Structure 1
Amino acid sequence: MGSIIPFQDLNLFPDNSTTSAITTTTTIPTLLTPKIEPKSEPVDEIPHQSQSYQEPLSSFFPNSVPIFFSNPQITPLSPSPSPSPSPSTPAASTISSAEETVYSEFYRLSELFRTAFAERFQQYSDVQVIEPDSRAIVPVPDDDRLNQVVVSRRKTPRSTELVRVTNLTLKDRTYFREVVRRTRMLYESLRILSIVEQENRRGIGFRRRSRGDLRSATMMRDRGLWLNRDKRIVGSIPGVEIGDLFFFRMELCVVGLHGQAQAGIDYLPGSKSSNGEPIATSIIVSGGYEDDEDAGDMIIYTGHGGQDKFSKQCEHQKLEGGNLALERSLHYGIEVRVIRGIKYENSVTNKVYVYDGLYKIVDCWFDVGKSGFGVYKYKLLRMDGQPEMGSAIMKFAQTLRIRPISVRPVGYLSLDISNKKESLPVFLFNDIDSDQEPLFYEYLVKSVFPPIVFSQGSGTGCNCVSGCNDSCFCAAKNGGELAYDYNGLLMRGKPVIFECGASCQCPPNCRNRVSQRGLRSRLEVFRSRETGWGVRSLDLIPAGSFICEYAGVALTREQSQIFTMNGDNLVYPNRFSEKWAEWGDLSQVFSDYTRPSYPSIPPLDFAMDVSRMRNVACYISHSSTPNVLVQFVLHDHNNLMFPHLMLFAMENIPPLRELSLDYGVPDECTGKLSICN
């Protein structure tokens, strides 16, 4: 496991010592770095609660997984035990008993009041209810899972201990990456389900925008599922890679990349530091201040403060709070994480946050800003040896979508290998060698099934003229709920999904017609030195989005045996790992969560031949930690033995990041994965 390095004690060195790096030695160090002494968080003095209101959340949700660095579960705070009174002071015992009775009754009445008006409070995302028999005056519907949460508990404060994580092995990086991936997947699943439930309850056109991002973050915080709460990490966050994309500020807090829901500077306050000096750990650059200058590797960052409600500078800034923390980080040579906020029209919020790596603060001064008021400015330079900035890749991809040849004049073998069969072009790029293999196959838009598959027809359809909802016939086929939200995102993976077909009366833009509409993102097949042929997107692909179908010619068991005798490689759908079960898995939130088992599907006994006809999906590389999952879908027939293999994003996939699939276990005879390239 990697090393966790605490900071050195500032008190060992004079104030005028120089510094440029952070190390830990047994002798007197040559480089000055601050050390924040570990100390316990101050416990708020709250009255003692009766036993019935002190049951920890772990009893409701026992399936929580370990978090980075043994992150503790959230439990109700209680005051430190006071010394037992001596026999000579009997009055103290009487007073204490009376206080307990008063406070117990106070909390009982408080809970009755809060649960009674829970529906009114829920719009502020701070009060929710779980126990159906909590004597609430206003009953809580049993089927609204996201509202069934205990009354908000006091959240655990962030740690005051600054550390740096170093010397991570490949195994460590893989582990932390998986933890971050699962945490983000849980956050996104909760967010989507929360929005759908609010829209179902209030109506799609409800004037107040549903804040599923806040609700999902609150629920995860109350269950102790936020990462990196027990340590404040300086430098890189294990499991978070440069170029990772986030749609919401709260998600940055959930993974521990930036701990402030609104402020642009995240720092350890001086009041919690052993030497009384604040230290900055990360900043968000989003152009919120008119004096900011962003040249990529060099940033002139304006301190915070002095703005009115219209984001206009109206007074001088002060060297305090985050501004002082940045100055102290400059003094001690401590790097900060930089997250850029970029406008992106195709995103959920028309904005996206990109982690761009570590920067050093090299200068700080007080200047007169454009508005005429004094502002603090900080010059930051990007540290060497890091991968390319995610924001730069996004800008390059945007230009590539418009002028591909002018941006990359060498390497394009085709601007559309589908020959306009797809709704969007599929590029073919190779600037490594002379291989042109993808040009020699006939392109398939969707899988070809044997005629016997369609003998049963598409069955009875719904009568939804304006679009399907959870009460229609197609929803009943899917177990009582549709698989997609109103934006076409997959809410929860299932063994198989029944989409609306030719017998349904709903329009083409129906909520239950997602995967049959074809490509939504511009994809590119490219040559890679590591994986051979691979696939990447020129667009940002949000988590839960449909990507494309894995298309080929479906073969029966007898046909596949003949093909394998000839040495042809086939793809076996039953060997794809069941990553669909991870998408929407809420077992860490709800103790009674069960894996979806309906609609059920029999063991698949067919193979996909992609030796002559195939589509773009057949070039997606294998990975044991993929960012794409396979979801079985039926829409043009009802034969459960031959479903379509539809691919969905398991995470927010940035532009030009390679797509990957888990093709499953190796073939028992050949020892090869069921992968064609």
Structure 2
Amino acid sequence: MGSLIPCLDLNLIPDYSIAVTPKSEPKLEPLDEELYFSTPNPISNSDPNPDPNSDVIQEFSPVSDITGEESDVFSQYYRISQLFQSVFARKLPQHSDLTVVDPNSLAIVPQPEETGVSAAVLNYKKHSRSAEMIRVSTLAVEDARYFRNLVRTTRMLYDSLRIFSSLEDESGRTIGKRMRGDLRAASLMKSRGLWLNRDKRIIGSIPGIYVGDVFFFRMELCVIGLHGQPQAGIDYVSASQSSNGEPIATSIVVSGGYEDDEDAGDEIIYTGQGGQDRQLARQCVHQKLEGGNLALERSKYYGIEIRVIRGFKYERSITSKIYVYDGLYRIVDCWFDVGKSGFGVYKYRLVRMADQPEMGSAVLKFAGNLRTKPLAARPSGYLSLDISKGRETLPVLLFNDIDSDQEPLLFEYLPKPVFPPYAFQQLGNNFGCDCVSGCSSGCFCAQRNGGEFPYDRNGILLMGKPLILECGSFCCCPPTCQNRVTQKGVKHRLEVFRSRETGWGVRSLDLIPAGSFICEYTGVVLAREQVALFTMNGDSLVYPSRFPKKWVEWGDLSQVFSEFMRPAYPSIPPLNFAVDVSTMRNVACYFSHSSSPNVMVQYVLYDHLNILYPHLMLFAMENIPPLRELSLDYGVADDWGGKLAICN
């Protein structure tokens, strides 16, 4: 396993006589939304002495009794909502500045002797970050896989909490005043000690986080330890925590918020913090060499690499903005200059370090060009602009600039699986909803799924289940129904491509949010007896029963709620069929195999009721950036990047 080594190149000598360096206003991100819905931030953005390591999250204000319908005993969502409520009832009494007057009503009032910020903000000191700085040496494959899985599961938990928290707000069951779902999710995870990389301050690359990883929320950067400031643009170890009394910067967020910033990709002119009028987005006073500004200067002096995260508006984001990790930079120069507004500013020239993957922000821009003008962006290499020949809702491209292989053109494209005829045996006419204008949470199909629909209004999977029952041919609801996600076809532009490492693979030209439907795994479905005959001449089939139950990881809240129970309904028996893709197949057959995949299989029924033959629907387990290869765990031994022979 790769070792964790102390960051000794700072020549740090403890000197406890050095006074704490004064701190200036953090470099805030003007393009970010306000963190709170209904009340002003109790910690003013103009506070001249913020704590750069406090990462305070505002918690709930005094609350009233819970409202809303609570009669649906079958509702999985209602049960999760109750877990949200009960955890805050237990958590708040742990803090000296709050008292639970009536545990049943969950009414909370401040202690008489506590006023102001301390009565509104919960600062979890027990989970504060360490100041011990280390670097992580090169990791072995198994170690890299472990840390990647750790980051993925943490992000899945964060996404699940965020989604359920947002749904709770929509339903009217929110405790007290509204708080954004991303903030509440981060708060819950922090209170459980689930934030990553808190016990050590990692200098440079963080294990399990890849260059090009995409995030929709600033708080997620804090949760995984990539950038520890919810709003400030410079993250650093403060002088009071550093062993030699000097602040050291570790990461920055570049979002174009300061008028003197210049971003050329591999080279950045970054403006220091402080002295900006946020409303006018310009400097109004001179900056000082203190706090984050001094930390950047000291990082230049000691040669400390800086993690750079770019934040920018992105129309395909669920929040209209995204954050992309673009790798490591070094500060090669810093100086004091007169800015565009006539006030003094500190500037830092950062240059991207060599031998790193391509910047994620550059890949996003290139993918945008491919979506609109693929032949202009790539003049050569395309074998087909749509191997589905119009059978999918979006074209599926075929690209090969490696060799002369054209294998995917030899197969008939199959947009939907071919099931045995007896799978469609009708069981009566009382197996669908009668929602003519649109489905509601109390309709028949919702009850069949345990009381709630499995998707939110954006089509994001809320929680993995043994089986999802979508509205289908038995139902009266329109095609726009919220419970018809997978049968509407692909929503992302997919490309089959040739790779030197993995043979044929699949990538998306779009950013795929975690929990999104990607496509169906299709082929000719063979019953058990047919499988026995087919394999007499060699086994070349895909067995759904071998797919690991990755769905149990999506929406698993057991780390936060001890009462959480994984969904067990609707249940299905062991699957005894196989999928033959030797002559007819679709784009899913070219997904790479990995035991640490970014795609999972979710069983779904919608056009028939035979639970022995569910559809194999593929969902994203994480935010998948454009042009990153899609991978699936087929349940066979692998070398973390192998391929199934049948698909290559």
TM-score with structure 1 setting the length = 0.79
For 1:272, the equivalent position in structure 2 comes to 241
Q: CA–CA distance in 2 between the matches of 1:459 and 1:676?
A: 40
Q: CA–CA distance in 2 between the matches of 1:526 and 1:532?
A: 8
Match of 1:534 among 495, 505, 513: 505
Q: CA–CA distance in 2 between the matches of 1:35 and 1:513?
A: 63
Q: Is the 8 A contact 1:128 1:152 kept in 2?
A: no
For 2:276, the equivalent position in structure 1 comes to 307
Q: How does 1:10-89 map to 2 (within 5 A)?
A: 22=9, 33-34=11-12
For 2:386, the equivalent position in structure 1 comes to 416
What SS class does the counterpart of residue 584 from structure 1 fall into? coil
* Pair 1:454-2:424 in alignment: yes
Match of 2:403 among 429, 433, 449: 433
What SS class does the counterpart of residue 381 from structure 1 fall into? strand
Q: CA–CA distance in 1 between the matches of 2:350 and 2:191?
A: 36
For 2:203, the equivalent position in structure 1 comes to 234
Q: CA–CA distance in 2 between the matches of 1:4 and 1:137?
A: 45
- Using the TM superposition, give the Cα deviation of residue 274 of structure 1 relative to its aligned residue in structure 2, in angstroms: 2.6
Q: Report Cα offsets for 1:255-279 as digits up to 9, x if no partner.
A: 0000000000001111222322111
- Using the TM superposition, give the Cα deviation of residue 171 of structure 1 relative to its aligned residue in structure 2, in angstroms: 2.0
For 1:482, the equivalent position in structure 2 comes to 453
> CA separation of 1:246/1:271 partners in 2, compared to 1, >3 Å: closer, same or farther?
same
For 1:473, the equivalent position in structure 2 comes to 444
> CA separation of 1:36/1:215 partners in 2, compared to 1, >3 Å: closer, same or farther?
farther
Matched AA of 2:625? P
* Pair 1:263-2:232 in alignment: yes
Q: Which consecutive residues of structure 1, in runs of 5 or more, have no partner in the other structure?
A: 9-21, 23-31, 43-112, 120-124, 142-150
* Pair 1:139-2:105 in alignment: yes
- Using the TM superposition, give the Cα deviation of residue 355 of structure 1 relative to its aligned residue in structure 2, in angstroms: 0.6
Q: How does 1:107-122 map to 2 (within 5 A)?
A: none
Q: Is the 8 A contact 1:152 1:222 kept in 2?
A: no
- Using the TM superposition, give the Cα deviation of residue 462 of structure 1 relative to its aligned residue in structure 2, in angstroms: 1.5
Q: How does 1:624-639 map to 2 (within 5 A)?
A: 624-639=595-610
Q: Report Cα offsets for 1:292-324 as digits up to 9, x if no partner.
A: 111111000011111123133222111111111
* Pair 1:318-2:318 in alignment: no
Q: CA–CA distance in 1 between the matches of 2:480 and 2:179?
A: 22
What SS class does the counterpart of residue 632 from structure 1 fall into? strand
Matched AA of 2:628? R
- Using the TM superposition, give the Cα deviation of residue 403 of structure 1 relative to its aligned residue in structure 2, in angstroms: 1.3
- Using the TM superposition, give the Cα deviation of residue 529 of structure 1 relative to its aligned residue in structure 2, in angstroms: 1.3
For 2:81, the equivalent position in structure 1 comes to none
Q: CA–CA distance in 2 between the matches of 1:628 and 1:369?
A: 47
Q: Report Cα offsets for 1:304-354 as digits up to 9, x if no partner.
A: 111123133222111111111101111111111000112111111111111
- Using the TM superposition, give the Cα deviation of residue 233 of structure 1 relative to its aligned residue in structure 2, in angstroms: 0.9
Q: CA–CA distance in 2 between the matches of 1:676 and 1:462?
A: 39
Q: CA–CA distance in 2 between the matches of 1:476 and 1:300?
A: 57
> CA separation of 1:138/1:587 partners in 2, compared to 1, >3 Å: closer, same or farther?
closer
Q: How does 1:216-255 map to 2 (within 5 A)?
A: 216-255=185-224
Q: CA–CA distance in 2 between the matches of 1:450 and 1:253?
A: 50
Q: Is the 8 A contact 2:599 2:632 kept in 1?
A: yes
Greater Cα offset, 152-161 or 495-504: 152-161
What SS class does the counterpart of residue 129 from structure 1 fall into? helix
> CA separation of 1:666/1:179 partners in 2, compared to 1, >3 Å: closer, same or farther?
closer
Matched AA of 2:237? L
Q: CA–CA distance in 2 between the matches of 1:647 and 1:268?
A: 42
Q: CA–CA distance in 2 between the matches of 1:272 and 1:435?
A: 58
> CA separation of 1:618/1:322 partners in 2, compared to 1, >3 Å: closer, same or farther?
same
Q: How does 1:189-200 map to 2 (within 5 A)?
A: 189-200=160-171
What SS class does the counterpart of residue 172 from structure 2 fall into? helix
For 2:627, the equivalent position in structure 1 comes to 656
| Structure whose CA Rg is larger | 1
RMSD of aligned C-alpha atoms? 2.8
- Using the TM superposition, give the Cα deviation of residue 589 of structure 1 relative to its aligned residue in structure 2, in angstroms: 0.9
> CA separation of 1:404/1:293 partners in 2, compared to 1, >3 Å: closer, same or farther?
same
Q: Is the 8 A contact 2:12 2:243 kept in 1?
A: no
* Pair 1:591-2:567 in alignment: no
For 1:354, the equivalent position in structure 2 comes to 324
Q: Which has the higher contact order (CA 8 A, sep 6+)?
A: 2
Matched AA of 2:479? P
> CA separation of 1:663/1:559 partners in 2, compared to 1, >3 Å: closer, same or farther?
same
Match of 2:371 among 382, 401, 404: 401
Q: Which consecutive residues of structure 2, in runs of 5 or more, have no partner in the other structure?
A: 21-60, 68-84, 94-99, 108-120
Aligned residues: 561
Q: Is the 8 A contact 1:462 1:503 kept in 2?
A: yes
Q: Is the 8 A contact 1:7 1:33 kept in 2?
A: no
For 1:63, the equivalent position in structure 2 comes to none
Q: How does 1:496-535 map to 2 (within 5 A)?
A: 496-535=467-506
* Pair 1:445-2:415 in alignment: yes
* Pair 1:4-2:4 in alignment: yes
> CA separation of 1:132/1:480 partners in 2, compared to 1, >3 Å: closer, same or farther?
farther
Matched AA of 1:489? I
> CA separation of 1:189/1:137 partners in 2, compared to 1, >3 Å: closer, same or farther?
closer
Q: Quote the sequence identity (%).
A: 68
- Using the TM superposition, give the Cα deviation of residue 466 of structure 1 relative to its aligned residue in structure 2, in angstroms: 4.0
Q: CA–CA distance in 2 between the matches of 1:627 and 1:635?
A: 25
Q: Is the 8 A contact 1:459 1:637 kept in 2?
A: no
Q: CA–CA distance in 2 between the matches of 1:674 and 1:266?
A: 47
Q: Is the 8 A contact 1:115 1:138 kept in 2?
A: no
Q: CA–CA distance in 1 between the matches of 2:122 and 2:344?
A: 41
Q: CA–CA distance in 2 between the matches of 1:417 and 1:222?
A: 50
Matched AA of 1:316? H
